Structure 1
Amino acid sequence: MSRGNTRQRIQDVALELFAEQGYEKTSLREIAERLDVTKAALYYHFKTKEDIVISLFADLGRPVDELIAWAEEQPRTLATKQEILRRYHVALMGALPLFRFMHENQATVRELSIGETFKARMTTLAGMIQDPGASMVDRVRCVSALFTMHAGLWLMQTVEGEEAEKRQAVLDVAIDLVTQAHRAEAG
C-alpha cells in the first residue's frame, strides 16, 4: 500500500473513532488497533492525534482555500457571490466527515490550532459575499447563508425527503439570503 493510501486510511479510521467515542476518548493505540498496524507504524505518519486532525483540515480544507483564492480574483457581483456559495456547497459535501467531527467535538476544535484556521476561513468567506458598508440586516443575511449551509448538513437529516433535494434546498436558501442582501444594497 502506498504512503498516500496509508495516510488516508489513518485519517478515515481516526475520524470514525473520533465520531464514535469523541476526540478526547480516542487514543493513538485504538487507531492503530482498528487499522491492524503497530503504534510505531502509525507514528511513522502521525505523531499525535492533533497531527491527524491538522492533516484532515489541510487536506479537506484545500478546496475552501482554492475557492477563496478564486473568489479574490473575481468582481464582487451577485453572480460571483452566488458562485462562491455553489462552490462552497461542493466543498462541504466533500468534507462531510470532517464537519461531523467538528460538530461533535466543538470544544476540542476550539482548543486546537485548527479552530482558528476554520474561523479565519469563515470570516474570509463571509466578507466575500457581503458588500462593504452593508446594513446590519444584510450582513446577518450573508453570515446566515454560510451557517444555513453548515446547519443543513445536520438538521436536514431529520427532514423527510430525498438527500439531493434537501441539499439543493439548503443551497437555494443560502443563495436567496445573499441575493436579498445584494439587492438591498444595490437598491
Structure 2
Amino acid sequence: MDENVRVVRGRNRIRLGDDDAADVRAHIQQVALEMFIEEGYDKTSLREIAEKLGVTKAALYYHFPTKDDIVRSLIERRIAAVDELLEWAATQSRDERMRLEFLRRYAQLHERMPNENVIRFFERNQTLINTMAAGKQMREQMMRVFEFLVDPAEPLAQQLRRAMAVFTIHASTFILRERPGTERERREAALEVALELMSGASSVAHELVDVLVREHLQWEPEAEQADAGHG
C-alpha cells in the first residue's frame, strides 16, 4: 500500500484515512495527474488510479466519485486563490505601481500552485476543461485579471504587452524548465520580463521593476524553504 495513505473503516464505508484530509486529496490529485498525462485522461480509470494508490476503488470514491471531480478540484483550488487576489485588487487604485504589484502577487500565486503537471494537463485537455462549469468560471476569472491590468484607453500595443505579461508568468514554467540556473534565478527572470512588459514605455514604472523583483525574491515558496531547512 502507498505509504502516504491508509485504509480505515467507519460507518460501513471504506475511505482513505489520514490526519489531514487535505493532504490525502492532494496526494490523490498528484498521482491521478501523473497518470492522466502518461496514459491519457480518457484511457485512465478510477480503478487504475486506486490500484496505483494501493487502495480500493471505494476508498478513492469517498474523496473523488469521478475523474471529473479530480480535475474540478484542481480548477477550484486555482479559482479560490485568484479570487482572493482579485478581492484584494478591488480595494486598490489602478495606478501603474498597483498593476505591477498585482502582477508580482500573481507570480507568487502561480508559484504556490501545484507542479507543472497541472498546467501541462490543462493545455492538453482544453476540450474537457471547456465543458466544465468550473472551466468556464476560470476563463471568466482570467478576463477579470485582464480587466484589472489592461486599460482599454491605452494604445493597442501597450494593451497587448500587459496581457502578454500574464502569459509570461505561465509560459516560463516550460520555456525555462531545462535552462541552466537555479529555480530562484528562473523565477527572477520570468518576473523581470513580465514586469517589463507590464511597464511598457512608462519611465516611472521602469524605476519600480527592480524594486519589485527584489521584494518578490525575499519571498520563498514553502517547499523551497523546507528544502533549505534540510540542507
Does the alignment reach a TM-score above 0.5?
yes
Give the Å deviation of 1:68.
0.9
Is 1:171 equivalent to 2:195 in the alignment? no
Alignment of 1:97-176 (within 5 A): 97-176=117-196
CA contact (8 A) 2:165 2:198 kept: yes
User: C-alpha separation between the residues in 2 aligned to 1:133 and 1:120?
Assistant: 21
Is 1:54 equivalent to 2:72 in the alignment? yes
Unaligned segments of structure 1, at least 5 residues: none
**Change in CA separation of 1:125 and 1:14 when aligned onto 2, cut-off 3 Å:** same
Report the equivalent of 2:220.
none
User: C-alpha separation between the residues in 1 aligned to 2:132 and 2:203?
Assistant: 39
CA contact (8 A) 1:23 1:108 kept: no
User: C-alpha separation between the residues in 2 aligned to 1:26 and 1:112?
Assistant: 19
User: C-alpha separation between the residues in 1 aligned to 2:201 and 2:84?
Assistant: 25
Give the structure with the larger helix fraction. 1
User: C-alpha separation between the residues in 1 aligned to 2:127 and 2:40?
Assistant: 11
Give the Å deviation of 1:182.
5.7
How big is each residue's C-alpha offset from its partner over 1:42-95, in whole Å with a ceiling of 9 and x where there is no partner?
111111111111111222432211111111111001111111111111111122
Give the structure with the larger strand fraction. 2
User: C-alpha separation between the residues in 2 aligned to 1:156 and 1:111?
Assistant: 31
Q: Report the residue type matching 1:140 in the other structure.
A: L
Is 1:30 equivalent to 2:48 in the alignment? yes
- Aligned residue among 90, 93, 103 for 1:75: 93
Give the Å deviation of 1:33.
0.8
User: C-alpha separation between the residues in 1 aligned to 2:40 and 2:203?
Assistant: 43
After TM superposition, the structure 1 stretch with the greater mean CA deviation from structure 2, 94-103 or 124-133, is: 94-103
**Change in CA separation of 1:109 and 1:183 when aligned onto 2, cut-off 3 Å:** farther
User: C-alpha separation between the residues in 2 aligned to 1:182 and 1:70?
Assistant: 24
TM-score (norm 2): 0.73
Identity across the alignment (%): 41
Alignment of 1:7-22 (within 5 A): 7-22=25-40
TM-score (norm 1): 0.88
Unaligned segments of structure 2, at least 5 residues: 1-17, 205-231
CA contact (8 A) 2:75 2:135 kept: no
CA contact (8 A) 1:32 1:42 kept: yes
What RMSD, in angstroms, separates the aligned Cα atoms of the two structures? Answer: 2.0
**Change in CA separation of 1:45 and 1:181 when aligned onto 2, cut-off 3 Å:** farther
User: C-alpha separation between the residues in 1 aligned to 2:151 and 2:78?
Assistant: 28
User: C-alpha separation between the residues in 1 aligned to 2:203 and 2:153?
Assistant: 13
Q: Report the residue type matching 2:138 in the other structure.
A: F
Report the equivalent of 2:211.
none
Report the equivalent of 1:84.
102
- Structure showing greater Rg: 2
Pick 1 or 2: higher relative contact order, CA cutoff 8 A, min separation 6.
1
Q: How many residues align?
A: 184
Give the Å deviation of 1:132.
3.8
